[in-house]
Homo-oligomer: A and B are copies of this chain.
Amino acid sequence: MSEIDLPESHPRYQSLLTRHRIEDGVDRGITSRQGLIAEGRGEAFDYLLGERTIPSADDAARAAAALLLLADRPVLSVNGNVAALVPEETVDLAAAVDADIEVNLFNRTDERMRAIVTHLRERGADEAGVAVRGLDADARIPGLDHERAKVDADGIGGADVVVVPLEDGDRAEALAAMGKSEVVIDLNPLSRSAQAVTVPIVDNVLRAVPNVADHARDLSGASQTELEAILRAFDADAALEAAEDAIRSGELD
């Protein structure tokens, strides 16, 4: 990777790459002020986790892959930080599980929506034939403020499984109330969004999104029965507890 001038073996590689991508996202009008603050919160939790994918998060990533492969209409929801941090990785995951992508912002403006849609198209979505939705905004999620409720009828509106990385609690709960199954990627195991969903992955999006894609490719030959067994064996509460334990016992330095 030539984005930053450091070998991947550098101990601060991942954190410096993250910082670089977020700064670049601000320059492109993709990342918001709230997104920068959220990035900082994530950094602190990741530091406490030891900046690694813990075993329970890897189990969750495998369950998420199974859920996505079982889905009829999976959609990956993308906000400003996800677009800045893992654009190619998100497109790759969408291709691996045959999902659409939908841009959905907490602070929605037409300008940011268009900047992010363009960014994702340029970072591989057009080439991979992955649909990037979000500009139609012709459906609403019940129970949310007007701007936050906007979704595409053909995207999140009609989806049965939604991946909502770095999502806020209200929206995760409102989507769950619509009967949708959700995968959340969130570094805080006791956030409301992590608590509300079918499969919470307590991990950095930089590690989690490619990891779910890897599991999906690994499971591409599995039968429906096998996928259902993987999903059934996944215990969300136990995974959140394991993540909390890892944070409590992690090295604070």
- Give the residue of B41, B48, B189, B247 whose beta carbon is less than 8 angstroms from that of A40: B41
Stretch of A5-13, A30-38, A147-155, A156-164 at the chain-chain interface: A30-38
Question: How many A residues have CB within 8 A of the partner chain?
Answer: 25
Does A26 sit within 8 A of B, measured CB to CB? yes
Residues of chain B contacted by A190 (CB below 8 angstroms):
252-253
A188 on interface, CB distance cutoff 8 Å: yes
* Chain B residues within 8 Å of A253, by CB: 190
Q: Chain B residues near A23 (CB, 8 Å)?
A: 33
| List of B residues within 8 angstroms of A249 by Cβ | 248
A45 within 8 A of B: yes
Q: A33's contact among B36, B42, B44, B189, by CB below 8 Å, is which? A: B36
Chain B minimum-CB-distance residue to A36 = B36
**Residue positions of A touching B, CB distance < 8 A:** 19, 22-23, 26, 33, 36-45, 48, 188-190, 244, 247-249, 252-253
